């Protein structure tokens, strides 16, 4: 599973992810991409499930890139514990995604294959997404 090797602090504030993505909103590596349409937290398990779906559909053809990384710890207190006594222990990690963030990229496959692979990956994610193609792509 994806998670940072080392962090400066163990716990983090929740915060509100406002506005659109100002970085990571353009295709950098591949020809095809999966772009977020709404704000959300994507867990390490969801990223891994989407990656597996994407690579299985591509069948060792082409290359895929994951453009998001879960670097925000989400804490949780144990069940049936009274209020107070501090913040809970880190439970899992999430990537904060804003509208416009490109989450996955692919290259080296045909347009219909890419569309289907990205559709399968998008089904594993909790945010609505859009399939995008590089403007200079020629089939």
pTM of the model: 0.92
Pairing of strands 89-97, 63-66: unpaired
Pairing of strands 129-133, 102-107: unpaired
104 is a domain residue: yes
Q: Which domain holds residue 122?
A: 32-79+88-133
19 is a domain residue: no
- Asked if residue 122 lies in contact with residue 46, where contact means CB atoms within 8 angstroms, the answer is no
11 is a domain residue: no
15 is a domain residue: no
- Asked if residue 57 lies in contact with residue 120, where contact means CB atoms within 8 angstroms, the answer is yes
Q: Indicate the DSSP class of residue 52.
A: H
Q: What is the pLDDT of residues 110-122, one digit of tens each?
A: 999 999 999 999 9
Q: What is the pLDDT of residues 40-58, one digit of tens each?
A: 999 999 999 999 999 999 9
Give the bridge partners for 74, in sequence order: 92
CATH number for the domain including 42?
3.90.1170.10
27 is a domain residue: no
């Amino acid at each position: 599973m994806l998670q940072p090797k080392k962090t400066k602090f163990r716990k983090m504030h929740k915060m509100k992810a406002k506005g659109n993505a100002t970085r990571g909103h353009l295709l950098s590596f591949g020809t095809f991409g999966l772009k977020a349409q709404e704000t959300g937290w994507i867990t390490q398990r969801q990223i891994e499930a989407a990656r597996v779906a994407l690579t299985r559909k591509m069948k060792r053809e082409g290359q895929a890139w994951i453009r998001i990384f879960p670097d925000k710890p989400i804490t949780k207190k144990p069940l049936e514990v009274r209020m107070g006594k501090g913040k809970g222990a880190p439970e899992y990690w999430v990537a904060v995604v804003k509208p416009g963030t490109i989450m996955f990229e692919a290259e080296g496959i045909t347009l219909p294959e890419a569309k289907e692979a990205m559709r399968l990956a998008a089904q594993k994610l909790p945010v609505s997404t859009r399939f995008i193609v590089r403007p200079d792509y020629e089939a």
